[in-house]
Chain A
Amino acid sequence: MKNLIEIESLTFKRGERVIYDNISLQIPQGKTTAIMGPSGIGKTTLLKLIGGQLRPAQGDIKFRGESIPGMTRNRLFKVRRQMSMLFQSGALFTELSVFDNIAYPLREHTKLPESLIKTIVLLKLQAVGLRGAAYLMPSELSGGMARRAALARSIALDPELIMYDEPFAGQDPISMGVLVKLIKELNNALNLTSVVVTHDVTEVMSIADYVYILAEKKIIGSGTPEEIRQSDSSLVQQFLNGEADGPVPFHYPATSLENEFMGAS
């Protein structure tokens, strides 16, 4: 199995705060890889690192064997045309209609005639079930529809890699079901490589081929969904089952209650 992306002993810091401490992971080509972990550990950061928007403090990120942090800006921009990213908010351009949003990457990067662009855009919209909404403005869409429109935009250029940033966050069960179906179908139909960053365990376990669980700056578990479920790591189990207390403590680090009240006097 070939790896599209290889992350090797990556360390990333924001100021003094360490976000990732020497992690390594591989994203195989043509598969769906899920990266899970509690909120606030910088899962989005990982996607930005892969996209070259951030630079690691140490370690390397390779896209098809080519180091992303080592690329020149021009080369990076070329490589980015083969990737695309679905942002949590959708990030549709608010001043353009849905149609123009999806046509945007095509108009930017290709010299296709307008008639062909129209065909492509309508096909992509058909794929996400929003052809009827082509001429609405993003502000007129519901959250789930905006995310589907954004998905159509991110597949407009037929990328090799698509990164989903929390695709299920804040969605009602129906939209969530639609998105799960779309991700699965697109992956099969277009033979995409997908990276899904999420904390919605059940949904992602149903579509992922391989799962990494990140916590406390490290990878605490990895494997196929089946292997993950069988994992004997208490941290992984706490995450999968959503227990309030465990290796990830319920309390933010503090001195003990006794000390707080009694020790001071």
Chain B
Amino acid sequence: MNLNKERMSARTVSHLKKGEKGIIKSFSDRAMSLKLLEMGCLPGCEVRLDAIAPFGDPICINVGGHYSLSLRLNEAAVIELE
């Protein structure tokens, strides 16, 4: 993920604690952002961290109250929050 050099400090989904919510602002990886968009992760959409797999990775988030999505921490780090 070379794209997010200057955005290292941005809060992302990977920083969420269990049960914590956030609103999607943008994505820092273009190839991954297309996948996420197609799966319904849109800017402005609320996400909540629901579960963490053993060893802390992957995690499960709820997307907009619609469905549950599991992703790896490095994938979650692409989703920047407001």
A binds B: no
B residues adjacent to A (C-beta < 8 A): none
